[in-house]
Chains A and B, each alone.
Chain A
Amino acid sequence: MINLDDVIEKANITQRDKKIIVGIPIIIFILSISVIALNGLSFGTDLEGGTMVTLTNFTVDGNLLQEDLRDFYGTADITVKSPTNIGSGPTYIELPSNIASDDINDYFDENYPGTDLSFSVFDPTVSNQFKSEAMKAIALAFVAMSIIVFLVFRTPLPSMTVVLSAISDITVTIALMSILGINLTLGTIAALLMVIGYSVDSNILLTTRLLKRRGELVPKVRNAMKTGLTMTITTLCAMIALYLVSSHPTLESIAIVLIFALVIDIMNTWCLNTGILMWFLEGQQNKGIRKKGAKR
């Protein structure tokens, strides 16, 4: 059985070169920004407009259905996603919003009778509205979070580090979503906002333990790490369980986004944030020693 103490011992974060433990997350953060800029984001039907059809009671291969539907409606703008094991979960179709739901109903009645259909239709106008409001909400959430963090710690650098970790968690997660083609939807945005909560939990724990407690730096980091990793791992495993259990698109995408974000949060909290904080505290210590020396 893997022991958490051994893992922390092996990671030996306090003895590593700070340039590396801070540098790598920063490079990943910058790379993520460029990935998002180059690759762009893909939005779900709720944020871009379109129709999402969910088929239950349906056991036909998704590729065949996609071909058929594209032929039938004469547009390549139709995607079908099947569950990995056909029949083990719902099949999803994304279509442009101008195809009427009645039409689709008729198509399935005729070709695949007995299929159980669910729809969600989003007009692009209102989706645009949702999108801009969702972006505003995320921005406002960050501003509110930053203000509180500054009020709690009252020192600029450590506070900025907590905020940077949260921003980086979300940015890198969005970059991964961009690479893997996971859509930004209202569901995944909810997941990204949960990331703020989890990120703040682990980073405030670390910063409080290092800044506000007395004692040697190295054991403080190790103890904080033990608590923090337990927290993240429990949530991570709960999300893996959710991912394995769910076939519902919203649940599945929330689970996968949180799994990414939590792994990234481990890096950002225990490398980036820890590195910067240790550097900051050692700097303060040195200053303190110099001051004492000067007095004598």
Chain B
Amino acid sequence: MKMPSLLGNIRILIWLIVVVASIISINPSFTDGFGTDLSFGIEIEGGSWINLELEGNLVQAEGNTANMVEYLIEERSDIDITFVAANGDVFTYSAEDLAASQAEISNSITWTSTKSFDLESGTFTLETSNNTALAVLLQYINNGSKVTLIEFDGDEWFEVRRSLTDEEEVLADEMSTSEFEAYLLNWYNESLGGVATVTDLINRVSPETTRDSRDIISTKLNYLGLADIPVKTIENDRYISVEFAGVELGEAESLVTEQGKFEIKIVSELAENVGAESKYELIVAGDEIKTVDHYSKDISSQQWYVPFNLSDEGAEAFAEKCILYGAIENPSEHPIAMFLDDVNIFEASIDPSLAASIADGSWQNSGGLRATLGVGDEAGERARNLWIQMNAGALPVKQRVVTEGYVSPTLGNLFLKEIVYAGVAAILVVGLIVYLRYKKSKIVFPLLVTAFSETVIVLGVANVIGYQLDLPSIAGILATLGTGVDQMVIITDEVLRGEGSGKLRVSLSKRVSRAFAIIFASATTTIMAMIPLAYMQLGVLRGFAIVTIIGLLVGIFITRPTYAKVINIILGNDKSIDTG
């Protein structure tokens, strides 16, 4: 055929370049059986996947501050008080025999920014914001679960890290999402007993919390020597997804739930002094660490730090070892270090004031300890990392497996084999039908080559953007193969129709542009129908939508124009169009 004129055409040249680039990207090789650079999802490669959800609610609530404060004090201290006056965020209450009840009342309002008692008039005054009162109230009705004010989708929400009870888990399984959220909202309002009202509720934790937990899991797996395990958040940071290639489900589960080995040690002999590596002695193991609070910045010193609390036994051991190894007299010679799975992650001398209070025996465990990392953004980043590492023992929020699975390599291979067979069978069948319809092999051949090249280009594009091919996206490739052939049939029919149809004969360029009008209309419609899916949180069908959209775009911009051109040249009608 007329190869020079085919290759001389710019559209065909572009097509050829894209096809070659795609093949290079896919990089098929035959050395070790057939292999490619394509990355497949776990359901094809074989391995385990686990999706976790963190338990908690996002709630919006409103309530009168004075009422909420009164309710909280009365509930916690069991003392009747009366509201006297409010002035902005400052509230005054009175109580009978305030002198006797002062201590209890004071203990029940540790969360207010100021408080003062006037025993003469029998009144006390405190200052708190509406949001603080709401947060404390929400925490109170949830048995002390952590409550934080966060931003989600541009609104302020309270994140309540509340675990589901057994009965609630059963309900959650039986009810639809919206029914269960309505149930929870009702539970909140009943528990609040009218003191405040929860106006909106989403049964999830904040994206931030999910991302933090993702990093904790990922860090933990890293320390276990599993650096290649992808841990990511999915569905708008709602779930955490972990994929273990080639690992069985039971093992994968224990890897996710297993705790890292965390230890606090003290330097008994510093490297400079002994000439080799520093020598460490164990102070406490991870199970003596009661809580690790969120990293933050000290307002006065601007230092970043991670606060944590030891158990009473742990605190005792801490003071004892500090004295024993000389950290009190000489803190810089005997720093304290933290180890995660035997890797040193933090080392610092104890603060002189802490050393002093340990020495005179005035140190109390209740204040907790701080790992301080210094000033500036970089120190903030290190504080976050340390916090993640300290948490690697356990997630800050209760986790729940929502979906999990294991695909044996046999099944994954079966799937891939069937896809390839089906693809070959489909191309042969389509070729046969097109041949029967047009009885011209010079139409069948370009059509099949174009259809096949389209699949190659879609695979190439997917590979370049680093897209992992899962089952739904392979279904998407089948879909585009189907619409691709459909559209080429439309072009062929429009081009052939002009041949000898008498008075209605239209110019070839017009016929081609007519075919494209139909193709554009239907491709646009399908793309528009797929866009909501590509943006929907439902990650599972997102792959299908994205691949279908890529396929349709490749079709209308690269392969369809090429096919139209080739079919024109082949049918010997080329002279009449060049711009169409």
Spell out A's residues near B (CB within 8 Å): 1, 4, 46, 49, 54, 56-57, 90, 101-102, 105, 116-126, 128-134, 136-137, 140-145, 147-149, 152, 186-187, 189-191, 193-194, 196-198, 200-202, 204-205, 208-209, 212-215, 223, 226-227, 230-231, 233-235, 237-238, 240-242, 244-248, 250-251, 254
Contact = CB atoms under 8 A, between A and B. Distances in A.
A185 B545 CA distance: 16
B250 A193 contact: no
Contacts of B28: none
Nearest to A2: B436
Given A90-B411, A123-B401, A145-B529, A128 B177 contact: yes
Given A132-B176, A241-B428, A247-B418, 20 more contacts: A49-B173, A56-B411, A123-B401, A124-B172, A124-B173, A141-B529, A141-B533, A147-B528, A152-B521, A152-B525, A191-B475, A193-B529, A197-B482, A197-B526, A201-B487, A204-B522, A213-B514, A238-B481, A241-B426, A244-B425
A193 B11 CA distance: 31
Contacts of A193: 529-530, 533, 541, 544-545
A116 B489 contact: no
Contacts of A90: 411, 414
Question: Most chain-B CB neighbours within 10 Å: which of A122, A191, A242?
Answer: A242
A131 B178 CA distance: 12
A185 B176 CA distance: 17
Contacts of B430: 234, 237-238
Interface stretch (B122-130, B222-230, B314-322, B402-410): B402-410
A7 to B, nearest CB: 12
A157 to B, nearest CB: 17
B532 A140 contact: yes
A186 B493 contact: no
Interface string B375-406: 00000000000000000000000001111111
A3 B388 CA distance: 70
Contacts of B471: 187, 250
Nearest to B48: A119
Given A130-B538, A193-B541, A116 B411 contact: yes
B422 interface: yes
Given A118-B407, A245-B422, A251 B415 contact: yes
Interface in B158-187: 172-178, 180
B537 interface: yes
B206 interface: no
Interface residues of B, number: 78
Contact of A204 (B249, B408, B518): B518
Contacts of A235: 482, 485-486
Interface string B411-425: 100110011011001
The interface centre, meaning the residue of B178, B418, B434, B478 with most chain A CB atoms within 10 A of its CB, is: B478
Contacts of A198: 482-483, 486
Interface in B505-528: 514, 517-518, 521-522, 524-526, 528
Central interface residue in A133, A143, A227, A233, by most chain B CB within 10 Å: A227
Q: Which of A57, A198, A238 has the most CB of B within 10 A?
A: A238
B435 to A, nearest CB: 11
B428 to A, nearest CB: 8
A63 B310 CA distance: 58
Given A132-B177, A133-B538, A117 B408 contact: yes
Contacts of A186: 472, 540-541
15 contacts: A118-B408, A122-B402, A186-B472, A194-B475, A194-B548, A204-B518, A214-B504, A230-B437, A230-B493, A237-B429, A238-B426, A245-B418, A246-B418, A248-B414, A251-B415
Interface string B429-451: 11001101100000000000000
Name the prevailing secondary structure of the B interface residues.
helix
A interface, by DSSP: helix, strand, loop or mixed? helix
Contact of A215 (B180, B419, B421, B504): B504
B533 A238 contact: no
B76 interface: no
The 5 closest A-B pairs by CB, nearest first: A140-B532, A120-B405, A238-B426, A126-B402, A124-B173
Nearest to A233: B433
A270 to B, nearest CB: 15
B13 interface: no
Given A237-B433, A246-B418, A251-B418, A148 B525 contact: yes
A56 B412 CA distance: 11
B490 interface: yes
A250 B415 CA distance: 9
Given A190-B472, A190-B544, A193-B529, A231 B405 contact: no
Contacts of B522: 197, 200-201, 204-205
Nearest to A51: B405
B294 interface: no
A250 B418 CA distance: 11
A240 B430 CA distance: 11
Contacts of A136: 536
Contacts of A241: 422, 425-426, 428-429
Contacts of A250: 415, 471, 475
